[in-house]
A = this chain, B = another copy of it.
Amino acid sequence: MNGAESLVRTLVGGGVNVCFANPGTSEMHFVAALDRVEGMRCVLGLFEGVVTGAADGYARMTGNPAATLLHLGPGMANGLANIHNANKASTPMVNIVGDHATYHRRYDAPLTTDIETAAKPFSRWVKTSPDARSVAADGAAAIAAARTPPGQIATLILPADTAWNEGSGPVEVPAAVPPAQVSPEAVAEVARVLRSGEPCLLLVTGKALRQEGLELAGRIAAKTGARLIAQGSNARTQRGRGRVFVERVPYVVDLAVKVLAGLKHIILVGSKMPVAFFAYPDKPSLLAPPDAVGHVLARPDEDLIGALEALADELGARSTPAPVTNDPPPAPGAGAVTSEALGQSLGALLPENAIVVDEAVTTGRGFFAPTRSAAPHDWLSNMGGSIGMGMPVATGAAVACPDRKVICLEGDGSGMYTLQSLWTQAREGLDVTTLLFSNRSYAILKGELANVGAGNPGRKALDMLDLGHPDLDWVGLARSMGVPGARVTTMEAFNDRFAEGIATPGPFLVEVVV
């Protein structure tokens, strides 16, 4: 059994059952091994940003890493932006990057690069396998690294001869290490702060945003009078009717400062002190009041649910009613297309148990509030800030959860980064409805140009923020990749077409002219 097959069998044995791939010559033995090993689903993406973003979406929904298969340094480079987003989301991921045969690297053939160095800024674990007999053990170590709490990027570089030479056979993957428990002292200290009567915030993220965590946090907040807010972006938030609603720290610095004003204590539940997404002249980097004190209840790699349970017990909050949302959903929006009307329609029409992938950027900033009483759903956000994550993450989430509807909220500027995702959705018959908000600009940057104090923009500057001239035809783009769709310019048409997308099995795209 060669190294490649030893590695594939190790992956499957270790519970890694999906590989998102865009292989080349140096990965052909891995590809060939797929035919000889049961239990590995291989999904082709026509660009590596699709591949790595899909692995992110898959792992956010399963909790288990997918593998990616990438072609040398440049193939990995094409996937780095979404690896970056996954890294910031603490997503477990095992990247397999083919390289030249060990003896061939010295000749500096065209595709030769220093893959390890390029991988390091985006991966917590990087290794080049030295020979075919080590590949399976290195693969097992990569899986273990990926599963290290709270989830990590592991990148294994596989020289071609380590794939084709005789390998070791599969290696057993060690059981995942559970997250560490927080100390009783940390719990007691946070309880003391919460009882102080001073203004406190529970700032939550990670697993604390699953239904169970939010219920615990909601009970604690209700018992102590503390506020409860989530980080600005989060990997996966469970929300909707019957769940505890949680606001997010706003993106806009002035709004965030206002929301956090007056706080004395910030209890960090897997989170860190709120930071502005960007620096701006004359605005603060840190968003909380300068005299607010941070208190770590649980670090990101610790057991957030266990920490909230212990804190609820310490405070006697277990039986305090959790403030779950039980309002009726809003009526669908009507008339002209606006961000507010779209938010209402989402709140009204989101299907039960939907997975919402949110890269709607400017158009979508107001969607969070009107969807608080929608049917229960999961909400996945961009945590790394690199655009082009929405459609790939939706693709991977749909592979992970074939019995759930995925709704992808996508801006036109972001969507163009990884539009090849639509082809994979068509090929795999993935149940993704993409709502493509076409404002024909990098609208967020128009505000940012003013925020950074760059003055009155002229034509040349505005041209850099403009996606018109010519306008993109998103229905045509989707159809050309095998995805049906429709364009809407009123809320009535939106409501009809969104419903059609939900009712249609497989991918569908609604281009919403904003």
Contact = CB atoms under 8 A, between A and B. Distances in A.
A455 interface: yes
Contacts of A453: 164
Contacts of A113: 84, 121-122
Given A42-B463, A385-B111, A480 B469 contact: no
A403 interface: no
Interface in A45-61: 46-47, 49
A100 interface: yes
A453 to B, nearest CB: 7
Given A49-B78, A74-B81, A285-B103, A464 B31 contact: yes
A49 to B, nearest CB: 7
Contact of A278 (B25, B121, B278, B427): B25
Interface string A99-117: 0110110011111011101
Contact of A286 (B107, B111, B455): B107
Interface string A15-54: 0000001011110110110110000001010110100000
A321 to B, nearest CB: 35
Given A121-B73, A477-B477, A455 B32 contact: yes
Most chain B CB within a 10 A radius of its CB, from A46, A115, A423, A480: A480
Copies in the complex: 2
A179 B353 CA distance: 65
Interface string A52-84: 000000000000000000001111011011001
Contact of A26 (B120, B278, B416): B278
Interface stretch (A170-178, A216-224, A393-401, A444-452): A444-452
A461 interface: yes
A454 B160 CA distance: 11
Contacts of A467: 46
A413 interface: yes
A474 interface: yes
Given A103-B285, A160-B279, A445-B24, A472 B461 contact: no
B100 A278 contact: yes
Given A416-B420, A480-B480, 5 more contacts: A32-B457, A42-B464, A47-B417, A74-B384, A101-B279
Which 4 pairs show the lowest CB-CB distances between chains A and B? A470-B482, A35-B458, A476-B480, A74-B386
13 contacts: A23-B445, A31-B449, A34-B460, A42-B460, A74-B384, A78-B80, A108-B275, A110-B385, A115-B121, A118-B122, A419-B420, A423-B472, A477-B477
